[in-house]
Each structure stands twice: as C-alpha cells, then as structure tokens.
Structure 1
C-alpha cells in the first residue's frame, strides 16, 4: 500500500505529464494532476476506495471527484466512478465488471450526461421475463441533456471496446469518439529526476525487487513505524493548536 506523502512523477509517450501523491493514510486517499502535452486540458482529482465482500465476490467503488478543465474556455466536466465487482475471489474463474450509473456535469454550459453501465441487473427471473435480446454486461448507454432537460444526443457502446454518439460531433462528421483498437492505452513512464518521495525509491520495494524478502519486510516495518510517529506528532500538534 502507498504511504502518506508517497509520490509518482511520469509522462505518457505523447508528452502528457502525470503527478500523483498519497495525501491521506486513513482512509487512503490519492490525489492526481494530469497536464496535456499541448495544454488543451488539465485532469485532476482525488479518490479513495470503499469495498465489501460477499461470498465469492467483492464489490467496491472509487469515490471522489474527477474533473477535466479545458483551456480554450475554462469549462470543467466532473464525474464520479461507477462501482466495480470482482467475482471468483475464492474459487472459479476470476473476472471484473463495472456497473451502475455515472453523471457527467458541465456547469458552464449547462450540460449533463447520465451514463448507465450494465443496468439490466444480475437476477435470473428479471432477465428471463424482461430481456428481449442478449444483454452485454459491458454495455454503456447515456443521454446528454441541455440546461432545460432537453435530450441532445445518445451515447452507446462498451467500456471495453468503443463509445459513439448517435448524432455525432463535429456537425455529425464523427460518431465513434473512442475505439480501443485505434487508441490503445499507454502506460506512463516514470521520470528519471523524481522527488525523493517517489514510489520507486521506497526501500522496502527496492529490497523486494532484488529478492531480499527479509530485508524488504524489515524496511516495511521501519516505514510503518515512521508513519505512526508522524501521525502522533500531527495529533499532538492539533491538540496544542486547539488548546
């Protein structure tokens, strides 16, 4: 698990910069900043996880604000993530899927888009009596509405493969706005000149990569002790400040 104050600095192959920091330990909260290489947008937010186990599955959700600010008009689009279910935790084939609803909001332009993911539900009887055709659990359906609630466009597709608008963008010239084959996901490459707090420099992880497990465990315990000591100091400081 990341420790308080742990950071990561990196860049994607196209030059987009990413910065991440662990800003809380209990509950664990991560904060991030992503800067487009052409300064077209700034993506920022923070998130923590809440999860519950049920038999052979775990259901969780990343909560916290996600926001993209566009430089050409300073408009911001914000949203929260749907829930995630992992099945096959104890036995059987393990797989994960998203589900639930997401709301994207653009307050500057009065736009909202409610996106549903796998909203048919898992019940056998519900599926038997109500479904008229096969239901894809990765299906995405959304409705874009204006400030007066009028329907502007409809989003369909799959969070695994593609997303497309019914009416399209750019005056209807472009309908598919994301294609997993044409726009594969790249991993951020760590910066060489990073802060001392960068996750690559954690002594326990360094020892773990070299295969010295005993040394890695000792280093992990030392880090945890430092974290506890820092927490006590902060608590004492708050008490003195409020006295």
Structure 2
C-alpha cells in the first residue's frame, strides 16, 4: 500500500480542505463575534446553530436543497456502473467510491439559505439522472430526496436531518439519516450513512473543513458490509507510525454469514483520501489525476411553484441586491412562523397530537 496519496491543491498539510477566501472568512468571524456579544459564551458550548438566525451577508445565493446535490456529482459515473454490476462486491466498491469522492465537492465557504417547509427542488444531471428534494421539517431541519438514474436503473433516496453546533473554535455538523440505493437489475439495496463534518478555525487560525468518523455501507441481500474510517488511527488500517493527513481513509469490505459484526471475513481493503483518490486493494477507482467529470445540477424545466429557484431572497442576493434580499428573507421567515402557528392551533382545536415541523 502506498504511504502517500494524491490530493487536491486545496488540501491542508495536516488534512482537510483549506479555505483560502480570506475575505469571506473575515466576514463570518465578524458575525460570530457579534453573536457572542448578543448570546454570550454559551454560543460556543454546543448550542445548536440550526435555530440561530444569521445575516444574509455570509450566505451564498442558493438553497440547501440545491447544495445537497453537490455531494452526488459522481452519480452518473459510479451509480450507473454499480447498477450494471452483476458482482455484488464490485457494486459495493462503486457505491463507496461515489460516496467518498463526492465529499470534497461539498466543501464550500459560504452557507446556503435554510429551506422553508414545503420548499422543493427539481433538477437533473446531463446524463438524464433526475433529482427531487423537499424540505419536510424546519425544527429540526429535515430534507427528503429521490434521485432516479436513466431508465430508473437505480433509485437513490433518503431523509437527512441537519445538525450543527459550536465546539469552541469549531463547528460540528452532521446530516443524520440513511441513504438507500435500490438497483433495478436484481432488486438489491445498499444503505449507508455520512460522517461528521468539522469546520475548524471559526474564530481564529486556519479555516479547515474536515470529515471524520466511520461510514458503514450495507448490502443485506448479498450479506456484504463495508466500513470506511476517515482519519484512521495510525497502526490500525495503516502500518506506518507517522501522523497522517486527517483526510486519509482506511477500511474493509466484508462478507458475512449471519451476524455482520461477527461472522465475517474481509474480501477487499480500502484506502485513499477523500481529497484525492479511492483505492480497493491498491487499485484506483477514483483519482483527481484521471479525467473524471463532476456533474453539475441543471435546473429542471417547468418545476413546481415551490421550487427553490423562485425564492425572492435568493433571487435578489444572486442579483447583488442586498436590501431587498434581506427584507424578503425576513418576510419568508415570518411567513413560516405564522404557518407553524396555524398548524398548531388547528391541531389543538381538533384534538390532534401536534408535531412541530
């Protein structure tokens, strides 16, 4: 196994994505210090950021429903290949590659707009893959999605609850929920989850975005399970003793008989870096050195009136009109609160158990 892996130019020496937009970082730090003045030091002690209102000046002009597709940029390559694979181990390798390779494409400097309950997004990739997203809850923020491959050769769907909180000089984030991929070829399914993401240097120091934790992929039909550790322990998956970049990955694909945690044997070794390459038994499946295109989201024709592209605040920010963008952001947030109150009152009048969304 190679001791070093190719990594993107944005890779920090110690690991992760190094943010080089100093102007954006300075603006965000100004907002954080203002929030600390208003809320107090408790802001940096694990307070959830999903309920904190942030100014429009640190946002990019798109909704989270549009941004969530960034991590799926390699679906037309790896999920299509997985969909035609008769060998379940090869299918698993392609799904793992799809999930790991897309992580670096989610590293952004500015935050997207929080979706409004009932907001939708319809889009596609150039190969015909269709993407549908909907915001189904505001507190907590929950997004549902469906992605259909050409000819419905694969069906990628799931539900993710976005969690984010301060941890001293860092922000810890996680999209909690399962990702399911059904394959038409044989009716198989692979289920996996995402790792934690950390934004380091929120108030001082280098701004670095890091993923960390264990990703588990499970194919129950074929009794295959894979474990991918991001930032693995030295001496665990790797034999050398020096400190490795935190974006390195290590793991195994296992076949099991009855219990996926016990009665299993490794059939493939996983290595690489989410910042540059994915290898199985030292064979590269993805590398930044290869001509591997990242597919960008294309807005669908004639979407629903609830589509993200029709948000006035996003449209004004995209045009550079800060004042109306800020006004519309406040209007939409007030409307969302008013609608939540209507739902609550209706449930109370009808004797229905009210579940906030």
Q: Which residue of 2 aligns with 1:177?
A: 285
> Cα RMSD over matched residues?
2.1
Say yes or no: does 1:117 pair with 2:238. no
Give the Cα–Cα distance (whole angstroms) in 2 for the partners of residues 153 and 241 of structure 1: 57
Q: Which residue of 1 aligns with 2:128?
A: 15
Say yes or no: does 1:135 pair with 2:244. yes
- Provide the TM-score with structure 1 as the length reference: 0.86
Say yes or no: does 1:156 pair with 2:271. yes
CA separation of 1:164 and 1:137: change in aligned 2, threshold 3 A:
same
Give the Cα–Cα distance (whole angstroms) in 2 for the partners of residues 101 and 53 of structure 1: 21
Q: Which residue of 2 aligns with 1:106?
A: 219
Give the Cα–Cα distance (whole angstroms) in 1 for the partners of residues 189 and 346 of structure 2: 37
- Provide the TM-score with structure 2 as the length reference: 0.60
- Write the deviation string for residues 162-212 of structure 1: whole angstroms up to 9, x where unpaired: 212218xxxxxxx32223433232211111311111111112222333333
2:221 alignment partner, SS class: coil
- Write the deviation string for residues 38-97 of structure 1: whole angstroms up to 9, x where unpaired: 422111111122233223211221111111111111111111111111112112221111
More strand by share: 1
Give the Cα–Cα distance (whole angstroms) in 2 for the partners of residues 216 and 99 of structure 1: 35
Question: How many residues in Structure 1 have an aligned counterpart in Structure 2?
Answer: 229
Q: Which deviates more, 49-58 or 76-85?
A: 49-58
Could you tell me whether the CA contact under 8 Å between 2:122 and 2:299 is conserved in 1? Answer: yes
Q: Which residue of 2 aligns with 1:171?
A: none
1:176 alignment partner, SS class: strand
Say yes or no: does 1:217 pair with 2:343. no
Return the structure number with greater relative CO, CA threshold 8 A, min gap 6.
Answer: 2
Q: Which residue of 2 aligns with 1:54?
A: 167
